[in-house]
Amino acid sequence: MKHTPTPWYISTVSTGLIRTEDNSEVIDYKIKHSLSDYESVQIGQIGYVFLDNETSKANAEFIVRAVNTHNELLEACKLALEFMESVNNGLSYRALKIKKAIEQAEEFDK
Please give the tally of structural domains in the chain: 1
Torsion of CA 53, 55, 58, 59, to 10 degrees: -110
Question: What are the φ and ψ backbone dihedral angles of 98, each rounded to 5 degrees?
Answer: -65, -45
pLDDT digits (tens, 9 = 90+) for 57-80: 888 899 999 999 999 999 999 999
Give 13 or 93, the one with higher predicted confidence.
93
Residue 1 domain-assigned (yes or no):
no
Rounded Cα distance, 33 and 9, in Å:
6
Under a CB-based contact definition with an 8 Å cutoff, are residues 53 and 15 in contact? no
Can you give the pLDDT at residue 74? 95
In a domain, residue 2? The reply is no
Range of the domain at 77: 9-108
Q: Decide if 46 is inside a domain.
A: yes
3 inside domain: no
Considering the domain boundaries, does residue 4 fall inside one? no
- CB-based contact 8:67 (threshold 8 Å): yes
Answer whether residue 85 is part of any domain: yes
Give pLDDT tens digits for 44-62: 887 665 567 788 888 889 9
